Chains A and B, each alone.
Chain A
Amino acid sequence: MGAESMQIVLNSVLVLALLGVLFGIGLAVASRKLKVESDPRIDEVEALLPGANCGGCGYPGCRGLAEAIVAGAAPVDACPVNKDCAPIAQVMGVEANCRLPQVARVRCAGGKNETEQRFIYIGVEDCAAAHSLAGGPKSCIYGCLGLGSCAKVCPFDAIVMSDNGLPVINEEKCTGCGLCVKACPRNIITLWPVGKKVTVLCMSHDKGPQVRKICKVGCIACGICVKQCPVKAIAMDDNLAVIDPQLCTNCGLCVEKCPMKTIKGEIKQEREAI
């Protein structure tokens, strides 16, 4: 290698080194001068959030919610997934007034075996699309359409469709984020307090004889459960038994007495179906 080429190498090394030093100084100055003061609590709150970025809270991801909580725009228990909001409340220095943990509950038991199809649906595999076509193919206009829109939106893989065409929720995995609730065009899925086991698995407001015609397990509004319930937790709302989960004591009397087997206790039956 001649002296001339050595000179070229040296020159370039020197120039680059100089540039490096210059930029380094520039960045160091900029990081001081242009520093954006951010509330350190945002990072702390974000670290306490689940980090799944599911969007169930309505904010753009967990960081978005953390910013909202710190700014006071969202309550400390705004994350529906987070089971315990006390640590966040501690960071924020407020009283921990956490909501009860909830899980999604599918309130329809009329699958392929229990109901009939009014017509064969050919088209977009999406419950809302099927629902908009004459109310969907299912004989019951309140029942689950079985196309699995809820399973598709679940970010936690907590919903699978059973062979019977009904969504089965794995309550271990379910975080209660509520995305499936929003995805269901029939409003069948509801968030239910964890630990409250008794649910009426029907959403039909049809009259009893009509329900009997189209579904083997629908609520026929006989009112037996209302009479049986020792704590008056069940009311009849437009031909449908509705349980108030706050009052329900899991005694299971209504489950035993329901002639249509519409009311289920223990979510065991849902687990078995998996």
Chain B
Amino acid sequence: MRLRTFKKGIHPPGYKERTASLPVEVLPLPRQVVLPLRQHIGAPAEPIVKVGDAVVTGQKIAEANGKVSLPLHASISGKVVAIEPRPHVSGALVPAIVIEGDSAEPDVPAWQAPPRLEELSAGQLIELMKEAGLAGMGGAAFPTHVKYDPPPGKKIEYVLLNGAECEPYLTCDHRLMVERADDIILGLMGMLKAAQVSKGLIGVEANKPDAVAALEKAASGLPVEILPLKVKYPQGEERMLIYAATGRVVPAGALPIEVGAVVNNVATAAAFGEYLRTGKPLISRLITVTGAGIKNPKNLEVRLGTLVEDVINYCGGFTEPPGRIILGGPMTGPAQYRLDLPIMKGTSGIVVQTRAEVDKPDYGPCIRCGKCVDACPYNALPNIFGLYAEYDRLPEVEKYGILDCRECGSCAYVCPSRRPLLQLIKDAKRKIMASRKNG
């Protein structure tokens, strides 16, 4: 069978064998959850509870603040003990609602199933996506409902689900596709109806044949096509997936809707499917806890807001003093230095590497070998970005199109001079955006 893919990219080792065959375990209810109001891209949610209020699992505790924003739901039952700035994955302190749990779940859940899919209109479905608090669960956490409300003049032609899971180490999407294919397909059906598109596509990397089989079984008789993809990084990046599936190229600086495509992670689809089936909003997610530094690597279903510390303790703790703790995948996930961070809607895993695995390279000058240019899936020139960014030559990097970089990290991965290209690029982009904001 011909496997679909994109041009360029890299082949990092997978490290998925630790957890790929482990069924999902449910983490026991945490004693405390920290729910940052900023878990998604866009405006932070607006709290609608006060300190001291009793809340039950699934109760809405913060309201969406504008169009590109999402509500937030209590992920455990208990009492709101604080609404205050707490450590956030971004490194800053971000306002969060802290709930002290009572270690019990209500007998009757706080949610009710919405009407059957057949009775819902496209507009209602989009509204439900927002009500469910759905954000892209692959990592970027973009509010899902916004994608289904295209700007005037644009029409959705393709609805794509992303089951590539091209990040090394992570296997939670893999397990999700194997174990909860029905929810994914139901969610996809809801998304198709919301987008008024007749057929759905699911891209899965070919190293997950059991996931393809499970999805095909769940989708039998439905207008869904499963597309096996070549195992390559960043196959799961939105633009790469669109190219692999449709042959269309999203222009630099444009959104996927420009070529009529909407991409969602399979986990987002599963969360939507579960919401359509039961009415349960987004209060838990699957994560992979893995790496040589974790005693018992696992795929876990955890409540949002559970602290990384609690998750790691459940997995038997560290094998040795950790070298690097990453929230998300190792290619794009940010390294962290503290364990009191909450699992959020976009947190796909915890990867712990040992000290021996983490070296501290002294990077050298660019040797003009061009390997990063060969690796860059966006056809950009990371070497030039790095050189100019190192000396703060912002107008030049902008001219060379640095803002089209999607920060996949392939360039830094292949650089023989060990140059921190991704960090240089991210920094330059941040400075450019800041200078734009300041006029």
Interface residue ranges, A against B (CB under 8 Å): 118-120, 122-124, 126, 128-129, 132-135
* A133 contacts across to B, CB distance below 8 A: 91
* B424 contacts across to A, CB distance below 8 A: 124, 129
Asked if B91 and A122 sit within 8 Å, CB to CB, the answer is: no
**Given the known A-B contacts A119-B337, A134-B91, A135-B91, are A128 and B427 also in contact in the complex, defined by CB atoms under 8 Å?**
yes
**Given the known A-B contacts A122-B361, A124-B420, A124-B424, are A132 and B337 also in contact in the complex, defined by CB atoms under 8 Å?**
no
Question: A-B contact count, CB below 8 Å?
Answer: 31
Decide if B50 is an interface residue (CB 8 Å cutoff): no
Instruction: Count chain B residues whose beta carbon lies closer than 8 angstroms to a beta carbon of A.
Output: 16
* A128 contacts across to B, CB distance below 8 A: 427
Select one of B335, B336, B361, B423 contacting A124, CB under 8 A.
B423
Asked if B420 and A123 sit within 8 Å, CB to CB, the answer is: yes
* B92 contacts across to A, CB distance below 8 A: 134
* B335 contacts across to A, CB distance below 8 A: 119
Question: Measured between C-beta atoms, what is the minimum distance from B366 to chain A in Å?
Answer: 13
* A119 contacts across to B, CB distance below 8 A: 335, 337
* A120 contacts across to B, CB distance below 8 A: 360
Task: A122-B358, A129-B427 given; name 20 further pairs at CB < 8 Å.
Answer: A118-B337, A119-B337, A120-B360, A122-B360, A122-B420, A123-B420, A123-B423, A124-B390, A124-B420, A124-B423, A126-B390, A126-B427, A128-B427, A132-B427, A133-B91, A134-B90, A134-B91, A134-B336, A134-B337, A135-B91
Question: Measured between C-beta atoms, what is the minimum distance from B395 to chain A in Å?
Answer: 15
Decide if B217 is an interface residue (CB 8 Å cutoff): no
* B393 contacts across to A, CB distance below 8 A: none
**86-106 of chain B: CB within 8 A of chain A:** 90-92
Residue of B92, B335, B358 most packed against chain A (CB within 10 A): B335
Asked if B427 and A124 sit within 8 Å, CB to CB, the answer is: yes
* B427 contacts across to A, CB distance below 8 A: 124, 126, 128-129, 132
A-B contact pairs, 30 of them (CB 8 A): A118-B337, A119-B335, A119-B337, A120-B360, A122-B358, A122-B360, A122-B361, A122-B420, A123-B420, A123-B423, A124-B390, A124-B420, A124-B423, A124-B424, A124-B427, A126-B390, A126-B427, A128-B427, A129-B423, A129-B424, A129-B427, A132-B427, A132-B430, A133-B91, A134-B90, A134-B91, A134-B92, A134-B336, A134-B337, A135-B91
* B420 contacts across to A, CB distance below 8 A: 122-124
In angstroms, Cα B360 to Cα A246, docked, is 46
Residue of B91, B360, B361, B423 most packed against chain A (CB within 10 A): B423
Question: Measured between C-beta atoms, what is the minimum distance from A259 to chain B in Å?
Answer: 30
In angstroms, Cα B239 to Cα A139, docked, is 40
* B336 contacts across to A, CB distance below 8 A: 134
* B90 contacts across to A, CB distance below 8 A: 134
Closest B residue to A137 using CB positions: B337
In angstroms, Cα B420 to Cα A245, docked, is 42
* B338 contacts across to A, CB distance below 8 A: 118
* A132 contacts across to B, CB distance below 8 A: 427, 430
Q: List 3 A-B pairs, minimum CB-CB distance, nearest first.
A: A134-B91, A119-B337, A123-B420
Closest B residue to A129 using CB positions: B427
Closest A residue to B358 using CB positions: A122
**54-98 of chain B: CB within 8 A of chain A:** 90-92
* A126 contacts across to B, CB distance below 8 A: 390, 427
In angstroms, Cα B420 to Cα A120, docked, is 15
In angstroms, Cα B91 to Cα A133, docked, is 7
Question: Measured between C-beta atoms, what is the minimum distance from B241 to chain A in Å?
Answer: 29
**323-363 of chain B: CB within 8 A of chain A:** 335-338, 358, 360-361
In angstroms, Cα B91 to Cα A123, docked, is 16
Question: Measured between C-beta atoms, what is the minimum distance from B373 to chain A in Å?
Answer: 20
Question: Measured between C-beta atoms, what is the minimum distance from B224 to chain A in Å?
Answer: 42
Question: Measured between C-beta atoms, what is the minimum distance from B122 to chain A in Å?
Answer: 42
Kindly supply a per-residue 1/0 record for chain B positions 419-439, scoring 1 wherever the CB is within 8 Å of any chain A CB and 0 otherwise.
010011001001000000000
In angstroms, Cα B335 to Cα A212, docked, is 27
Closest A residue to B386 using CB positions: A124
In angstroms, Cα B424 to Cα A126, docked, is 10
Closest B residue to A136 using CB positions: B91
In angstroms, Cα B423 to Cα A128, docked, is 12
Question: Measured between C-beta atoms, what is the minimum distance from B402 to chain A in Å?
Answer: 15
* A123 contacts across to B, CB distance below 8 A: 420, 423
In angstroms, Cα B325 to Cα A119, docked, is 11
In angstroms, Cα B358 to Cα A70, docked, is 58
Question: Measured between C-beta atoms, what is the minimum distance from B378 to chain A in Å?
Answer: 21
Closest B residue to A122 using CB positions: B360
Question: Measured between C-beta atoms, what is the minimum distance from B421 to chain A in Å?
Answer: 10
In angstroms, Cα B430 to Cα A132, docked, is 9
Closest A residue to B427 using CB positions: A129
Question: Measured between C-beta atoms, what is the minimum distance from B329 to chain A in Å?
Answer: 18
In angstroms, Cα B422 to Cα A133, docked, is 13
In angstroms, Cα B390 to Cα A257, docked, is 44
Closest A residue to B362 using CB positions: A125
In angstroms, Cα B91 to Cα A124, docked, is 17
In angstroms, Cα B87 to Cα A118, docked, is 14
Kindly supply a per-residue 1/0 record for chain B positions 375-402, scoring 1 wherever the CB is within 8 Å of any chain A CB and 0 otherwise.
0000000000000001000000000000
In angstroms, Cα B335 to Cα A119, docked, is 10
In angstroms, Cα B338 to Cα A122, docked, is 16
Question: Measured between C-beta atoms, what is the minimum distance from A213 to chain B in Å?
Answer: 15
